[in-house]
Amino acid sequence: MNILCLTNEYPNKNYPKKDSPWIVPYFAREWVKQGNRVIVIVNSTKFPLICYWGVNFIRPFLMRKYNITESNLSSRIWAKPFELIDEGVCVYNRPMLKYIPSANFTEARCKRQVESIAGILEENGFVPDIITGHWLNPQLRLISMLTEYYKCKSAFVFHSEVTRKYIKKYNVRQYVKNIHRIGCRSRTNSEILKENLDLPYEPFVCPSGIPDQYIEKRQISGKNIRDRELQIICAGRLVNYKRIDAVIAACAEFGKNEIQQLTVVGEGQLREGLEEYAQKKGFSDRIVFTGKVERDTLITMMYQSDVFALISEREVFGLVYLEAMLQGCIVIAAKGGGVDGIIVDGVNGFLCEQGNSKELSEIISKILRMTDAERKQISAKALATAAQYSDSQVAKMYLSNILE
């Protein structure tokens, strides 16, 4: 099957993009492994030269407003056309000029981009059976135009752009008419989008997966969770919406004989402030900030921990929750977040109100009061749930949802 995927993000080892999720590369590589031919078109944004000169002056503003640790705008690598082969995936970066960040691309610019994409496909003797893509602007409009041109199956996966504000700003209703299947990154966003677009069906959920090799190495029965002196871990960028402060506040409510240590994995502009906050809470002797670590190292740290806690606000999807579940952690995630629907409260983990440190401390108290058998049962069920979300499985589910 020939799969054409459109995106404005394609991080890889040769052309890294700071703060960019590796969602499309993971799916595209798996589709190639499963015998498909895959072409990815990266519709990256190109700004006038003066924008690159001036970015250093507005970097602090960008970091605060968009919760990023480094602005991609400062790098001109993605502002130039190039091609690469990434584990069998043919990737073409074709920048689109825009003068105002977050603004719509013009109709003329989109038409030229469609012509450019059609030329690439013709050169490769590639007629798509499926066209799909991620991130609203300009992918939704381009996929709509390409679907009409190639008369093939198509899909688009929304991330956080499910609100009425985005729907109106980017003329979403106009373009979804041509697209066969609409997807979202979480069950919560699927329900929101169905209502906001008045869809007759619920958009399919398109989660990320865990590398198959991690699942193959898992222990089947779960692990023993300590009943006292819990080791708690959380991981994510140290930015406002992750609400690491709420995790610190909740853990500070417990003594050393209940919570031995909280490990915070990740980097970001809030680290200094969080360290000061832990000190103010009298918790600085039991918290460790590791900074960013390699994925294998994080997996080991999760296995050595009892509880994973992260109650982010407006989380679209968090692969880190699944990774923690696979290591047998009792996971505490946010209600209405990216894994609401994967985690069933009290069965294979717990759900907490977003950013609510008081409710989080109550859940930790509940875990401390549980019997060994109850803790191990939740750990085992968490592991069993996560094992269903391998890279290969979610890639197959993605395609099957489009072809239904």
pLDDT in tens, 3-60: 999 999 898 877 766 567 789 999 999 999 999 999 999 999 887 766 666 566 666 6
259-265 sheet: strands from edge to edge:
287-291, 259-265, 230-235, 307-309, 330-334, 350-352
Per-residue model confidence (pLDDT) at position 47? 79
What is the number of other CB atoms lying within 10 angstroms of the CB of residue 320?
A: 23
Q: Assess whether the previous peptide bond of 207 is cis (omega < 30° from 0).
A: no
The answer to whether residues 118 and 233 belong to one domain is no
Number of domains in the chain: 2
The answer to whether residues 253 and 134 belong to one domain is no
Per-residue model confidence (pLDDT) at position 64? 60
Q: How confident is the model at residue 74 (pLDDT cuts 50, 70, 90)?
A: very low
For residue 65, the domain's CATH number is 3.40.50.2000
Name 258's Cβ contacts closer than 8 Å, sequence gap at least 6: 228, 229, 230, 368
Mean pLDDT, rounded, for 224-251: 92
The answer to whether residues 263 and 185 belong to one domain is no
Mean pLDDT, rounded, for 169-197: 93
Whether the pTM exceeds 0.85: the reply is yes
Backbone angles phi, psi at 240, to 5 degrees: -55, -50
The answer to whether residues 178 and 76 belong to one domain is yes
The mean-pLDDT minimum among 127-136, 213-222, 360-369 falls in: 213-222
Name 238's Cβ contacts closer than 8 Å, sequence gap at least 6: 244, 264, 266, 267, 268, 269, 270, 271, 274
Mean pLDDT, rounded, for 129-149: 96
Share of the chain above pLDDT 90, in %: 73
Domain boundaries, position 345? 212-386
Contact 222, 328 (CB under 8 A): yes
Share of the chain above pLDDT 70, in %: 91
The answer to whether residues 121 and 255 belong to one domain is no
Q: How far are the Cα atoms of 26, 111, 160, 186, 362 from residue 314, in angstroms, in the given order? A: 23, 34, 8, 11, 22
d(CA 299, CA 293): 10
d(CA 75, CA 52): 8
Per-residue model confidence (pLDDT) at position 63? 59
The answer to whether residues 301 and 396 belong to one domain is no
Radius of gyration of the chain (CA): 22
The answer to whether residues 317 and 334 belong to one domain is yes
Contact 38, 90 (CB under 8 A): yes
Per DSSP (E only), the strands in 2-81 are: 2-7, 37-42, 45-46
Mean confidence (pLDDT) of the chain: 90
The answer to whether residues 33 and 181 belong to one domain is yes
The answer to whether residues 198 and 229 belong to one domain is no
The answer to whether residues 312 and 182 belong to one domain is no
The mean-pLDDT minimum among 75-79, 244-248, 274-278 falls in: 75-79
Res 103 pLDDT > 50: yes
Contact 33, 392 (CB under 8 A): yes
Per-residue model confidence (pLDDT) at position 48? 75
Per-residue model confidence (pLDDT) at position 58? 63
DSSP 221: T
Per-residue model confidence (pLDDT) at position 46? 86
The answer to whether residues 14 and 36 belong to one domain is yes
The mean-pLDDT minimum among 46-60, 242-256, 314-328 falls in: 46-60
